[in-house]
Copies of this chain bind each other. A is one copy, B any other.
Amino acid sequence: MHDSNEPRPHTGRRRNEAARRAILDAALELLADADGAPVSVETIARAAGVGKQTLYRWWPSKGAVLLDALTDRAAQDVPAPDTGDLREDLRELAIATFEASQRRPSAPALRTLVREAARDTHLAELMRVFTQSRRAAVRAVLERGRERGELPADRDLDLLVDQFYGFFWYRFLLGHAPLDAAAAEALTESLLG
């Protein structure tokens, strides 16, 4: 038996940081270039100049690598505007979200990632965690507004959050209509009446 509280000191060769970076960089770049098309593990490993096993030694699945590649670069901090005005906060959040969805390489990479998540339940679960904080940010803005009386007390906030992100993902994934500042403005006005 091994006492896990007092682990044996590490010996042997250490993890190659350059390989980790090369994998994440290659994954993000391929993810972005694919823009929806699947990205294979073989391709990532080859592009990173790395063996497949090195990849599977540090990540449990392809999905985990892809998500890591995205979150590693994508701005992790979610904007949390609090100007004291609901309309202003929501507009700011919408503009920031929409604007971020146009940036390379994160945006096309995210599109590919969602496509992959449609088939990969493990990745789908990770994505849920990833999006949760963004949903929470919108909800917090709405809650503050409601406390200030800018929203009826009985207004269903979950409905509003789903309207916000439903609209966003719909346009982001289909790409049939713009996600620009004007759209952000119009969505905000529509949600708050």
A residues whose Cβ falls under 8 Å from a Cβ of B: 36-38, 114-116, 118-119, 121, 128, 156, 158-160, 162-163, 165-171, 174, 177, 183, 186-187, 190-191, 193
Q: Which of A118, A128, A166, A191 has the most CB of B within 10 A?
A: A166
A171 smallest CB distance to B (angstroms): 6
How many chain copies does the complex carry? 2
A175 to B107 alpha-carbon distance, docked (Å): 24
Instruction: Evaluate contact between B118 and A160: CB separation under 8 angstroms.
Output: no
Chain B residue numbers with a CB within 8 Å of A174 are 128
**List of 4 A-B pairs having minimum Cβ-Cβ separation, nearest first:** A166-B170, A118-B118, A166-B166, A166-B167
Question: Taking CB as reference atom, which chain B residue is nearest A118?
Answer: B118
Q: A118-B118, A165-B170 are in contact. List 6 more A-B contacts (CB 8 A).
A: A37-B121, A159-B183, A159-B186, A166-B168, A166-B169, A169-B169
* In the complex, chain B residues whose CB is within 8 Å of the CB of A167: 162-163, 166-167
How far is B158's CA from A183's CA once the two chains are assembled, in angstroms? 10
Least CB distance from A85 to B in Å reads 19
Q: Which residues of B contact A119 (CB under 8 A)?
A: 38, 115, 118-119
- Complex alpha-carbon distance, A190 and B142, angstroms: 15
The reply to whether B191 and A156 form a contact with Cβ atoms under 8 Å apart is no
In the assembled complex, the Cα of A183 lies from the Cα of B193 at a distance in Å of: 18
Closest Cβ of chain B to A91, distance in Å, is: 15
